[in-house]
Amino acid sequence: MRQWFERINSWARILKRDGLALYFAARDPRVPWYAKAVAALIAAYALSPIDLIPDFIPVIGYLDELILLPLVIAGVVHLIDPAVMAEHRATAAQMEQRPTSKLGAALIAAIWMRAVVLVIWWLLRGR
């Protein structure tokens, strides 16, 4: 069971790295326009709140993220020159190694919490 979890975790890291590499590749002039267009569509779908299968449906709701997105990302990777993709994968791997700021994350969380509190206060004030 542990090996299975480690394989899934490794696969997820590779997928995350390739997604970031596609972001960089979409801005590269050496990448064909059609690969850029598909990469932009993938990014838009991945970041969109609208899914083919709604996430609130138990188990089935995450199938598009678990199956569809990896397949499409793998397809787009094959549209890009391997040397260019290797360069962007290296850049993405370096980005993953950069330290993250816990203070920055706490600051953003505090801003969101304040916004939620203000919206709730504004809604309750109107009653």
- Asked whether residue 58 is domain-assigned, the answer is yes
- What string of pLDDT tens digits covers the 127 residues of the chain? 778 878 877 877 888 788 888 888 888 999 999 998 888 787 777 666 666 666 667 677 777 777 778 888 888 888 999 999 999 999 988 887 766 677 777 888 888 899 889 989 988 887 6
- Asked whether residue 77 is domain-assigned, the answer is yes
d(C-alpha 91, C-alpha 81), whole Å: 16
- Residue 13: CB atoms within 10 A of its CB come to 12
Number of domains in the chain: 1
Query: Given the structure tokens 């970031």, which residue do they identify?
Result: 20
Give me the domain span that covers residue 59. Answer: 2-100
Confirm if 3 and 16 have CB atoms less than 8 A apart: no
- Asked whether residue 44 is domain-assigned, the answer is yes
- Asked whether residue 108 is domain-assigned, the answer is no
pTM: 0.62
d(C-alpha 120, C-alpha 103), whole Å: 26
d(C-alpha 55, C-alpha 80), whole Å: 31
